[in-house]
């Protein structure tokens, strides 16, 4: 999923009608403080005119030797960027490595979903509209159209423990996150 696919989906007009969330722009290398987020998607909501950050995506190379710690650092960076935007509502944040797309929000249990790569404009539309559907209605109908991760066992055993330890420091909280994520990945 490159910025081109997202940009094309947004440029053709992308609105989630129920909340009147209109996606406006996809900006690569968006400056946040002294650093740059790889991609930031902006939208207006409820018919308002104020354009606000909706999603931050950290794009990274796939790590073969230590996928968990590598992905955990990217998740931490994406969360840092999302919070650094000082938006009224912290935007969703995601990490994409060409194989996995992990989507989070800044409240427990953090993980929104894990998907395989987004390959076309229709999937990009479902991705963005699905996040708004999840936000406004707590539903996953559109997100469930996205390609599922092909190897949840690898993901759960090799990546998710490191990510959980990055988001929750207390061992009991880490275990609670992993239990929640297990249900999401295997349902």
Query: Which CATH number characterizes residue 162's domain?
Result: 3.90.1570
pLDDT value at position 9?
92
Alpha-carbon separation of residue 155 from 15, 86, 148, 163 (angstroms): 32, 31, 12, 11
Residue 47 has pLDDT above 90, yes or no: no
The rounded mean pLDDT for the chain is 91
Residue 87 in contact with residue 52, Cβ under 8 Å? yes
Domain count, the chain: 1
Number of Cβ within 10 Å of residue 49's Cβ equals 5
Higher-confidence residue: 88 or 179? 179
Residue range(s) defining the domain that contains residue 128: 3-186
Residue 6, classified by CB atoms within 10 Å of its CB into exposed (0-12), middle (13-18) or buried (19+), is buried
| pLDDT tier at 169, thresholds 50, 70, 90 | confident
| pLDDT tier at 73, thresholds 50, 70, 90 | very high
83-130 confidence digits (pLDDT tens): 999 898 899 999 998 888 999 999 999 999 999 989 999 999 999 999
Residue 42 has pLDDT above 80, yes or no: yes
pLDDT value at position 1?
58
pTM: 0.92
Q: With CA atoms as reference, report the closest residue to 112 among 152, 90, 139, 150.
A: 139
Mean per-residue pLDDT for 171-187? 92
DSSP string, 90-109: PPEEEEE-SS-EEEE-SSTT
Mean per-residue pLDDT for 14-20? 94
């Amino acid at each position: 999923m490159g910025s081109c696919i997202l940009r094309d989906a947004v440029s053709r007009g992308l609105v989630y009608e129920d909340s009147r969330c209109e996606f406006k722009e996809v900006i690569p290398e968006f400056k946040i403080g002294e650093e740059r987020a790889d991609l930031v998607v902006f939208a207006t909501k409820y018919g308002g005119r104020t354009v606000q950050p909706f999603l931050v995506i950290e794009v990274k190379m796939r790590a073969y030797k230590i996928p968990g710690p590598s992905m955990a650092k990217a998740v931490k960076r994406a969360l840092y960027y999302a919070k650094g935007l000082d938006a009224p509502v912290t935007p969703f944040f995601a990490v994409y490595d060409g194989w996995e797309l992990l989507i989070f929000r800044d409240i427990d249990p953090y993980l929104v979903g894990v998907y395989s790569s987004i390959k076309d404009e229709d999937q990009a539309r479902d991705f963005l509209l699905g996040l708004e559907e999840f936000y406004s209605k707590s539903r996953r109908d559109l997100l469930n159209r996205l390609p599922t991760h092909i190897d949840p066992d690898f993901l759960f055993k090799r990546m998710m423990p490191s990510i959980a330890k990055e988001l929750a420091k207390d061992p009991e909280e880490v275990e609670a996150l992993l239990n929640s994520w297990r249900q999401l990945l295997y349902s």
